[in-house]
Amino acid sequence: MLSILISIVLYVINDASFSFVTHYLSDVGAGPNGVGLVFSIGMMLTSAVMIFFFLHLSTYLINNKGNKYFIVIAFVSGLISSIGTFFVGTFPINIYLDLHNFSASFFFIGGIIYCLFFAISELTTPGISKYQALSGFIVCFFFFVFIVYSSINYYDSDLCSIESYISEWTLFFVLISWIIEHEIYIFRMSEKKSNRLCL
């Protein structure tokens, strides 16, 4: 994820025309002076990080008596989304447009499903904060908003092009925050449990 952020910074440095209201995240993959390569590598590495995160979160929820059915759906959806992420990096938008968009569809559709089912899983898992579960529904909402805007923009770019760009960038930063916050939450809860056992 850090490499993706670095590629965004490099794009801005190399091309002053870059803007969150005129470019999609995928457009960074077509950036100048090697920016696209940094982005592609970042997406591939991010897919591995995402798989680790989904496995870590799923294991935590199962160990805390979460609903295995919901958790499995969330994990499999996350795995599909991660595979989509990998191939988004493999197929740059400026060279393999159709393959890139096909791969991205797995990321977004998988994303809305895993956020929904992880949120439901957390909501029904004993000891998990309801506010923690709410965060998953919020990210799911942003996935939905982008899918709606991008679909409209695909058929008529005059209707909501700016909204489509902004909604994707918003989703990107919200999703990163959600993942980081969850890792911090799991770490803190595990620390508290360890301290109770020591006592």
- Percent of residues in the chain assigned helix, strand, coil, to nearest 5: 85, 0, 15
φ, ψ for residue 96 (rounded to 5)?
A: -125, 65
Q: Is the dihedral of CA 180, 185, 186, 192 positive or negative?
A: positive
Say whether pTM exceeds 0.85. yes
Q: pLDDT tens digits for 35-49?
A: 888 889 989 999 999
d(CA 66, CA 80): 21
Residue 151: inside a domain? yes
Residue 175: inside a domain? yes
Residue 13: inside a domain? no
Residue 29: inside a domain? no
Q: What is the pLDDT of residue 156?
A: 82
Q: What is the pLDDT of residue 194?
A: 67
Residue 11: inside a domain? no
Residue 26: inside a domain? no
Residue 23: inside a domain? no
Q: What is the pLDDT of residue 86?
A: 95
Residue 64: inside a domain? yes
d(CA 143, CA 141): 5
Residues 6+ apart with CB under 8 A from 62: 68, 71
The domain tally of the chain equals: 1
d(CA 17, CA 26): 15
Low-confidence ranges of the chain (pLDDT < 50): none
In 33-190, where do the E strands start and end?
A: none
Q: What is the pLDDT of residue 198?
A: 57
Q: DSSP secondary-structure letter at 34?
A: T
- Domain containing 69: what range? 48-194
Q: Angle at CA 3, nearest 5°, toward 168 and 40?
A: 75
Q: What is the pLDDT of residue 14?
A: 82
